[in-house]
Chains A and B, each alone.
Chain A
Amino acid sequence: MQPLTNKIKQVDRKPMTFMEKLYLPAIFKGMTITFSHIFKKKPTINYPEKQRPFSPVFRGLQILNRDEEGRENCTACGLCAVACPAEAITMEAAERQQGEEHLYKEEKYAAKYEINMLRCIFCGLCEEACPKDAIYLSETFTPADYQRKQFIYSKDDLLIPHPKENPDAYQKALGNRPQKVSEN
């Protein structure tokens, strides 16, 4: 048969030499390589005591953003849900009432917002689609759990801590990445 590439290597079928038949030199050669690694720098780290720095484009657990006054940015426009290739995001919208202006930024808000983390593939398309700066993928892993039902993340799980009531937690949630400068 005509070979498709020139990368074909004929297998060497010569009988073994005396040194090869002894086996021991090859074993010692292998063991030296193995033992030499003991003195090399370890590439593994002891997670979670030690953690690697995140890459600036790391996509982790979603957070729902608030503005400086602590109002929720999300208006339940549904663009994240329609962009989501895994169909992980669902929401239900409600109208802001009198006296709720300090809670929600716009006239309409997400009364319910859910991300099914069993479905989420962390592609970041929701963040890309969001016109209101409301959803971000943070530098956190989704914690493991024993039960499936723990992976349906509701608004309570996703919302960033209140910047005024809980400033330390808010700063921590913002992470170390450079913040995107808002245009408005």
Chain B
Amino acid sequence: MLHCGLCVKECLEYLRMEEEIKTIKVTIDNITIDVAPGTTILNAARQIGGDVTPPAMCYYSKLDGSGGKCRTCLVEVAAGSAADPRPMPKLVASCRTGVMDGMVVKNITSEKVTDARNGVVEFLLLNHPLDCPICDQAGECHLQDLGYEHGKEGTRYQFARRTFKKEDIGPYIQLHMTRCILCYRCTYVADQITQKRVHGVIDRGDHAAISTYISKAIDNDFSGNMIDVCPVGALTDKTFRFKNRVWFTKPVDAHRNCTTPGCCGKATLWLRGEEVFRVTARKDQWGEVQSFDGKPGWICNTCRFETKKTESWTVEGITTISRHSVIGLNKYKTLEMPKETVKAVMKGTDPKLLMDIHSVSGVNKPDTHLSELDRAAKSDDFKNN
């Protein structure tokens, strides 16, 4: 803004005008909503919520410039605006298209959209290995959800999937390039949250790969957030690698006083018994990092990878998990353990234990602490039990 008196006057006038056209009307799948000008179709749909919201693999509301790459959020615009009600000739990426007053958008009500989305999912899965049984992301993977909803049962692709040489990108993050769908979210994280980006997408087309050039370790204090933004299992936590399946761990909200500037200190702990197996940022209903006081709650690597003791955290309560998610399966919805009733009823006599499972079982040994390992368990780690 320039600072001559005239400009300020004009500016004020413009702002007053802005205030007058406060909201614009947009209809998505026959639901009309008033949104602020400049909102994208995707964000307008998110304000409505539910099934109307298009899925997004690359768009991330907390990262500037993200979106427009994966094409899963394609929608049909049946009427461009009230002034010009002609439909848009092609399906548009809803994450990159702004709404106009009187716009009519079709998402799940349009057959064209469902059809296109099925095609996009098929394309995304062309090169994506079906190694969900091995992948640590399984259970909270966006591509898995998307494939479940839109995917075909078999593949029509007859060629070998692309493979890459394994690359070590540091002690904390495991890169599986074969699983990458090139959403670029991790590069935006490195650009916008960390001061220095040492990785990016190298080469083009089929060879395009996330890589550090030339073999560098990503060691920024906030690099761990790349794991959270990755929609697939391309970037996973090395300290959690193969420790347990996500759905067998219990997520709880916790916080600690983190001294790292920029770290919000609010996290989700993934517990197994009393052990902290994994720490992630808290996620909102869109699978994105939650905002606290308008600021995205990114957490630092100290919180994420090095604070794996329950004592270091103040547990707030159970994380709410969507009831459609496998993660919520077979869990008590409270932190309090159910009380032993036998002793109370039997006037202080302990129940007769017919077999102590830990004396027979080699699994979940009380004296083995997997959370203390900063890597995946090896065969030697289980030698003793």
Contact = CB atoms under 8 A, between A and B. Distances in A.
A131 B385 CA distance: 28
Contacts of A154: 362
A111 B326 contact: no
B248 A81 contact: yes
Interface size class of A (residues with CB under 8 A): 20 to 34
B382 A92 contact: yes
A131 to B, nearest CB: 5
Interface on chain B toward A: helix, strand, loop, or mixed SS? loop
B76 to A, nearest CB: 35
A114 B365 CA distance: 13
A75 B214 CA distance: 33
Interface string A49-65: 00000000000000000
Nearest to A111: B382
Interface stretch (A18-26, A30-38, A100-108): A100-108
A93 B244 contact: yes
Interface in B332-385: 354-355, 357, 359-364, 370, 375-379, 381-382, 385
Nearest to B138: A77
B283 interface: no
B378 A112 contact: no
A88 to B, nearest CB: 12
Most A Cβ at <10 Å: residue of B244, B363, B381? B363
Contacts of B138: 77
Given A75-B133, A91-B363, 10 more contacts: A76-B242, A82-B326, A82-B330, A87-B330, A90-B361, A93-B376, A95-B377, A112-B362, A132-B133, A149-B360
25 contacts: A75-B134, A77-B133, A82-B248, A82-B329, A92-B364, A93-B242, A93-B244, A94-B377, A94-B379, A94-B381, A94-B382, A95-B377, A97-B378, A106-B131, A108-B133, A108-B134, A112-B363, A114-B362, A116-B357, A116-B361, A131-B132, A149-B360, A152-B357, A152-B361, A154-B362
